[in-house]
Amino acid sequence: MLSIDLAQALKSAGLAWTPASGDRFVIPVDDLTERVFVLSDVTADVHRFDSGDLIGFNGTTEWALDSIEQDKVVWFPREDQLRDLLGAAFVSLEQLPGGFAVTATGAGGVEARHVDTDAERAYARALLARLHP
């Protein structure tokens, strides 16, 4: 998963986000920075009873936030989303000892290699380089 710093760098570089079900985000405030939220069309909880567990479908949960403005959160794009955002600039993904490298074309069609500990982070670095040539 992306680090908060890398996700914030993508946001600062102008990466646009149209929220959709399955998207992950954090609220960069105090104790919430470590909690990753996922957008969902339905909330499902496990309710534990002596007679057995039930999965309940709820509109909200007791501790839920009422709402938050989109510009106050930081989107954590998934690997598939990052690859889609790279589009035709994506050249290859390579597994390395201890990490991954994404090769993508940058400004002027020059290929560059972006290395990080996991594929998602390598894709993010490649996209960040395209957003910040």
Residue 26 has pLDDT above 80, yes or no: yes
Distances (CA, A) of 5 to 12, 49, 86: 10, 41, 20
Angstrom distance (rounded) from CA 48 to CA 46: 6
pLDDT one-digit tens code per residue, 41-83: 777 778 888 998 887 776 655 556 677 889 999 999 999 999 9
Q: Which residue has the tokens 């405030």?
A: 29
For residue 5, pLDDT over 80 is answered with yes
User: Which tokens belong to 127?
Assistant: 């996209």
Q: Whole-model pTM?
A: 0.84
12: part of which helix (H) or strand (E)?
helix 4-12
Write down the pLDDT at residue 48.
86
Contact (CB, 8 A) for 22 and 38: yes
